[in-house]
Amino acid sequence: MATEPSAEQLKALEKRLAGRGKRRRRLWKRAALVIGTALTEGLVRLLEITVALCVTLLLLLPLLLGRLAVRLPAGKPVFDKKRITGYKGNPVTVLHFSGMSGRLARLPLFLELFTGRLALAGTSIREWQPASPDVAQAGISMVKPGIVSLWEIRKGSRIAHEGQQATDREYLYSKRPAYDLLLLLRALPAMLFSENVEAAPGPLFELLDLEIDNITMSEAIELMRRHLVRQTQSSIFFVNPDCMNKMVTDSAYRSALGSADHIFPDGIGLVIAGKMLGTPLRENINGTDMLPFLCSMAAAENRSIFLLGGKPGVAAQAAETIRQNYGASIAGVMHGYFDREKESREVIETINRSGASILLVAFGAPIQEQWIASHRGELQPGILMGVGGLFDFFSGNIRRAPRWMREIGLEWLYRILQEPGRMWKRYVIGNPLFLYRVLKWKLFNRSLNNLKPWNSTRLSDGN
């Protein structure tokens, strides 16, 4: 006769059944994951092959026929071969159209979507080097290089300040099918800005009779480091389309800009102007992107920074963020709402006493540029920089546009949505007006006013 199970036996049975249930659920989850991944990969391949087919039929074949007709009779090759680093670091030979530059030359890359050696979205395409430990170390070759990459998109909008390897690594950590899809969508507007920046003619770019430094972020930081090491004082200003508009009508601002040692191009408007003028901008160098790099350099050189400007309390909040996140030493802070006629002397003494090497002045353009230009002789810091609303961003009072918006050149739209009352005129009227002025200047290439108080030797001391 069967005996009743004891309470312990029942508990053990319950546990076993629950365990089995858990195992089964785990198995189901794993199976769903495997099936889901296979399905997603299949869909991605389908999308890649569809895109490859469309591009081949609509663009590649007609262009190929044209190239064959022109180049073969002249005995010239139609394709160039290039070796790039493929999946798992293996060399891959790809084709480019010979005798062409820019995006069209790269069209044959789409053929590699059929072979699967390139992906539509992936890490950036790099030239193959026999042993590239950098790429291996960063694990970058764990995924296929893509015709579209985060690096290319950021390079297009000139904000790839972190460098190729760091950007590829960022992509690796974010890679998911949805992320790739968004990357492809971002690639379309970013194409509007992309061009061969190697074609940039020199370290200066002339726009509306103003000479602007056409250099990369790392070159700009190195230039400032050299000024500090050599103890040559340097005033540095940023210009965006709004500043350029102000400069046209404000002669005091124009001459303050003229007194600067370096002027850096801020924003997508300047990238577009560079494209319109056939002088591609190397990088978009704005204060907000620059600050982390500047702080690292200052920390490495053992230099401190003074923050002057913004509403009371804002510079102190920004200083806290800078100390905590970027490890730079802050020599002092002061708000920007003082009587510049009567109290500048006292403010300058405070700055000089602090021993700061770098002074960031945030009164907005053109007040900050004029203040720096008229007081540079009394100020002791080696770098005097006008930074606009920088402290508002770093104090957390104003949020900066997300990176994806900056990648497609829409930071200005975000600013309008944040402060419509103040910003609509600056952007909605200011941006088209600026582009009109650039176009007019390009066509007639004549001085908007006859004043040209500086010469082209600005970069000679620093370089």
**Which residues contribute to the site for ligand UDP (CB under 6 A)?**
309-311, 336-337, 362-365, 388-389, 391-392
Q: Are 213 and 263 in contact (CB under 8 A)?
A: yes
Q: Kindly tell me which of 16 and 311 has the beta carbon lying closer to ligand UDP.
A: 311
Residues 6+ apart with CB under 8 A from 169: 138, 139, 140
Residues 6+ apart with CB under 8 A from 244: 207, 208, 210, 434, 437
Instruction: State both tokens at 325.
Output: 């996140």
Q: Kindly tell me which of 162 and 369 has the beta carbon lying closer to ligand UDP.
A: 369
Q: How far is the CB of 336 from ligand UDP (least distance, A)?
A: 2
Q: How far is the CB of 334 from ligand UDP (least distance, A)?
A: 10
Q: Kindly tell me which of 183 and 318 has the beta carbon lying closer to ligand UDP.
A: 318
Q: Kindly tell me which of 295 and 334 has the beta carbon lying closer to ligand UDP.
A: 334
CA distance 178 to 109: 23
Q: Kindly tell me which of 114 and 337 has the beta carbon lying closer to ligand UDP.
A: 337
Q: Kindly tell me which of 261 and 369 has the beta carbon lying closer to ligand UDP.
A: 369
Q: Strand pairing partners for 119?
A: 146
Q: Kindly tell me which of 122 and 388 has the beta carbon lying closer to ligand UDP.
A: 388
Q: How far is the CB of 365 from ligand UDP (least distance, A)?
A: 4
The residue written with tokens 């190195």 in the block is 222
CA distance 332 to 307: 6
Q: Are 233 and 358 in contact (CB under 8 A)?
A: no
Q: What phi and psi, each to the nearest 5 degrees, are found at residue 95?
A: -110, 145
Q: How far is the CB of 235 from ligand UDP (least distance, A)?
A: 15
CA distance 156 to 171: 16
Amino acid identity of 371? W
CA distance 53 to 72: 25
Q: How far is the CB of 364 from ligand UDP (least distance, A)?
A: 3
Q: Are 455 and 260 in contact (CB under 8 A)?
A: no
Q: Kindly tell me which of 120 and 385 has the beta carbon lying closer to ligand UDP.
A: 385
Q: How far is the CB of 398 from ligand UDP (least distance, A)?
A: 8
- Closest Cα partner for 85 from 188, 177, 164? 164
Q: Kindly tell me which of 203 and 389 has the beta carbon lying closer to ligand UDP.
A: 389
Q: How far is the CB of 180 from ligand UDP (least distance, A)?
A: 35
The residue written with tokens 């970069």 in the block is 459
Q: Kindly tell me which of 427 and 441 has the beta carbon lying closer to ligand UDP.
A: 427
Q: How far is the CB of 430 from ligand UDP (least distance, A)?
A: 11
Helix axes 268-277, 411-418, angle to 10 degrees: 140
Q: What phi and psi, each to the nearest 5 degrees, are found at residue 119?
A: -105, 165
Q: Are 412 and 268 in contact (CB under 8 A)?
A: yes
Task: Compute the radius of gyration of the chain from its Cα atoms.
Answer: 28
- Under DSSP, is residue 242 helix (H, G, I), strand (E, B) or coil? helix
Q: How far is the CB of 388 from ligand UDP (least distance, A)?
A: 3
Amino acid identity of 227? H
C-alpha distances in Å from residue 162, one per residue of 29, 126, 159, 294, 457: 38, 16, 8, 13, 29
Q: How far is the CB of 309 from ligand UDP (least distance, A)?
A: 4
Q: How far is the CB of 446 from ligand UDP (least distance, A)?
A: 28
Q: Kindly tell me which of 280 and 388 has the beta carbon lying closer to ligand UDP.
A: 388
* Closest residue to bound ligand UDP by CB: 336
Evaluate the omega torsion of the peptide bond into residue 366 and state whether it is cis, within 30 degrees of 0: yes
- Under DSSP, is residue 253 helix (H, G, I), strand (E, B) or coil? helix
